[in-house]
Amino acid sequence: MDSTKHVGVIAIIISKRETTAPKVNQILTNHGDLIIGRLGLPYGDHGLHVISLIVDGDKEQLQSLTVELTAVPDTIVESTMSPVCL
């Protein structure tokens, strides 16, 4: 297991907020120790909501969070991680 920490960014685009947001928020709560910052913006004109996360953790932790978020229906999730270890 790689215990080297990385900083990363996760972008989440949510449609169908009423059903999707509670699931996303529960996942974020479960992984709250990895989240350094969070910005959520409604994009109501298009029926979307956008969340950006700044995260800090080892590779496996950040991948686990991303995989869980990706499994939520009606979400688009993209992530990137710094190649530089902390």
**Predicted pLDDT of residue 61:** 94
The verdict on residue 32 lying in a domain is yes
Residue 65: how many other CB atoms lie within 10 Å: 23
Structural domain for 35, as ranges = 6-83
- Report how many domains make up the chain: 1
Q: What is the CATH number of the domain that holds 22?
A: 3.30.70.1150
Which single residue is written with the structure tokens 């993209």?
78
Q: Is the pLDDT of residue 2 over 90?
A: no
For residue 6, give the DSSP letter: E
- Of 27, 19, 55, 26, nearest to 39 by C-alpha is 55
Helices (H), the chain: 17-30, 59-70
Half-sphere CA count of 83, side-chain side, radius 13 A:
0
Q: Is the pLDDT of residue 35 over 80?
A: yes
The verdict on residue 40 lying in a domain is yes
Using pLDDT thresholds of 50, 70 and 90, give the confidence band for residue 3: confident
Using pLDDT thresholds of 50, 70 and 90, give the confidence band for residue 86: low
The verdict on residue 1 lying in a domain is no
Q: How far apart are CA 11 and CA 31, in angstroms?
A: 15
**What digits encode the pLDDT tens for the residues 44-83?**
788 899 999 999 999 999 999 999 999 999 999 999 998 7
Contact of 72 with 17, CB cutoff 8 Å: no
What share of the chain has pLDDT > 90, as a percent?
Answer: 78
**Predicted pLDDT of residue 1:** 54
Burial label, 14 (beta-carbon count in 10 A; 0-12, 13-18, 19+): buried
